[in-house]
Amino acid sequence: MSGKKLNILVLSNRLPYPLNDGGNIATYKNIEYFNKIGYKVSLFSLNTKKHWHSPDPLEKICQVYAFDIETGLQVSTVFKYGFNFNKFALGRFYSAEIEHSLAQLLAKESFDIIQLEGPYMWVYKKALQKKGKAKVVLRAHNIEHLIWQRQAKNEKRFFKRLLAKKYAQNLKQLEYELLPNLDGVIAISDEDEAYFKQMGFKGLLSSINAGIELGAICETLKPTPNTIGFIGSLEWLPNVMGLEWFVKEVWDKVLELHPKAELHVAGKNPIERVKAINAKNYVFYGMVDSAKVFTQQNELMIVPLLSGSGMRMKIIEAMANKKCVVSTSIGAEGIQLENKKDAWIEDNPQKMAEAIAFLLKNKAKNAEIAENGYGFVQKNYDWNELILNFANFYETV
C-alpha torsion sign, points 362, 364, 365, 366:
positive
Q: Are 214 and 378 in contact (CB under 8 A)?
A: yes
- Which of the pair, 15 or 88, is modelled with greater confidence? 15
**pTM strictly above 0.95:** no
Q: Which helix (H) or strand (E) holds 227?
A: strand 227-231
Mean pLDDT of 241-255: 97
- The whole-angstrom separation of Cα 39 and Cα 36 is 7
The CB density around residue 284, as the number of other CB atoms within 10 Å, is 17
Between 84-98, 122-136, 326-340, the lowest mean confidence (pLDDT) is in 84-98
- The whole-angstrom separation of Cα 306 and Cα 330 is 6
**pLDDT at residue number 78:** 47
- Which of the pair, 149 or 112, is modelled with greater confidence? 112
**pLDDT at residue number 82:** 45
Of the pLDDT bands very low, low, confident and very high (cuts 50, 70, 90), residue 86 is low
Q: Which residues contact 286 (CB under 8 A, 6 or more apart)?
A: 234, 266, 267, 268, 270
Q: Which residues contact 112 (CB under 8 A, 6 or more apart)?
A: 6, 7, 8, 133, 134, 135, 394
The pLDDT of residue 310 is above 90: no
Our CA angle for 265, 267, 271, nearest 5°, is 100
**pLDDT at residue number 143:** 87
Question: Domain map of the chain by residue range?
Answer: 7-211+382-396, 227-380
pLDDT in tens, 346-384: 999 999 999 999 999 999 999 999 999 999 999 999 999
Q: Are 136 and 181 in contact (CB under 8 A)?
A: yes
200 conformational bin, left if phi > 0, alpha if psi -120 to 50, beta if neither: left
Mean pLDDT of 73-93: 58
* Fold type of domain 7-211+382-396: Rossmann fold (3.40.50)
What does DSSP say about strands 344-345 and 282-286: parallel, antiparallel, or unpaired? unpaired
**pLDDT at residue number 220:** 60
Q: Which helix (H) or strand (E) holds 395?
A: helix 383-396
| Residue 24, CA distances (Å) to 17, 38, 171, 209, 210 in order | 6, 22, 21, 14, 11
- Which of the pair, 146 or 31, is modelled with greater confidence? 31
| Residue 66, CA distances (Å) to 12, 51, 53, 71, 105 in order | 10, 12, 10, 15, 12
- The whole-angstrom separation of Cα 375 and Cα 377 is 5
- The whole-angstrom separation of Cα 19 and Cα 292 is 12
**pLDDT at residue number 153:** 84
pLDDT in tens, 147-182: 888 888 878 888 888 888 888 888 889 899 999 999
pLDDT in tens, 207-229: 999 888 877 565 567 899 999 99
The pLDDT of residue 79 is above 70: no
Of the pLDDT bands very low, low, confident and very high (cuts 50, 70, 90), residue 83 is very low
**pLDDT at residue number 75:** 45
The pLDDT of residue 88 is above 70: no
214 conformational bin, left if phi > 0, alpha if psi -120 to 50, beta if neither: beta
Mean pLDDT of 278-305: 95
Whether 7-211+382-396 shares its CATH topology with 227-380 is answered: yes
- The whole-angstrom separation of Cα 295 and Cα 293 is 5
The CB density around residue 235, as the number of other CB atoms within 10 Å, is 16
The pLDDT of residue 85 is above 60: no
Q: What is the mean pLDDT of the chain?
A: 91
Length of the chain: 397
> Residues of the chain with pLDDT > 70: what percent?
93
Does the domain at 227-380 match CATH 3.40.50.300? Answer given as no
Mean pLDDT of 38-56: 96
Task: Give the amino acid at 140.
Answer: A
Strand order through the sheet with 344-345: 282-286, 262-266, 227-231, 300-303, 324-327, 344-345
HSE-CB at 166 with a 13 A cutoff on CA atoms is 13
DSSP 32-92: HHHHHTT-EEEEEEEEESTT---SGGGGGTSEEEEEEE--S--HHHHHHTTT-HHHHHHHT
- Which of the pair, 263 or 90, is modelled with greater confidence? 263
